[in-house]
Amino acid sequence: MGSYTRKMMFGDQPRFDTGWGGWVWWAPLEDIPPETFVEHWGAGRFVGGYPTKDGIGVCACAPVSDDIAKQGPGRRSRIQERFAGMGKLVDSWLDNTPDDDAEMFFWHLSDVRSHEWIKGRVVLLGDAAAGFLPTAGIGASMAMESAAVLADELSRVNADSLELALHAYEKRRRHRVERVQGESRQLARMMFVESGMLAWGRDQLTKLYSIKQLAGSIAKAFDEPI
């Protein structure tokens, strides 16, 4: 996402900033069925729990305009106070919030879309070309697809026609990647809202549509050839 190669070759590129950010930490693997993730979409706050082999990855997000992103003394209590009252499961995760002096990562939820992918024999791929918000959980998949397409195009050329292969790779990938990136931004607009009224309206909408319907075009992308 913060590609030095992109910056060196193409300069600063447009970013999409949700205005939100989140703390991430680990909690014991309990209270969630295997292969099930849990998300709480609130007004001005969001908490998700994502099981892995060894524990639950917790992400607690809020607007960065307040002091939620501050490190140091009081960090643990600020996080716990900000996300309290979202249910027993979230409370159990909050009990595992690291102490103030422990290393803890704050994730600024923004992405980037490069106007250019190619210069000479330099080519961008994955988040360096079009970074993904975590909202759709699809950024790594898009990067691996792009790697497969790049390898496919390179396998059919020699050194003299390398740049033709790079441009063929971009032609095959750019529209698909940016379309799905746009969908991840739309999900962010739905997930990260501060207004109680907007959150209520969103909650009513999600009662009528499944997550598969809300993210239908993202799911459909996997049925299309790359």
Res 26: pLDDT: 95
pTM, entire model: 0.84
Distance CA 126, CA 132 (A): 9
Q: What is the pLDDT of residues 180-217, one digit of tens each?
A: 999 899 889 988 998 889 888 888 877 776 666 666 66
Spatial strand order of the sheet with 105-112 comes to 38-41, 46-51, 56-63, 15-27, 105-112
Q: State pLDDT tens for residues 46-93.
A: 999 999 888 999 999 999 976 888 999 999 999 999 999 999 999 999
CATH of 18-109, one of 3.90.650.10, 3.30.9.30, 3.30.230.70, 3.40.50.970: 3.30.9.30
At 190 the pLDDT is: 87
Give bridge partners of residue 38 from the DSSP assignment: 49
The CATH code of domain 112-221 reads 3.50.50.60
Domain residue extents for the chain: 18-109, 112-221
Asked if the model's pLDDT at residue 220 lies above 80, the reply is no
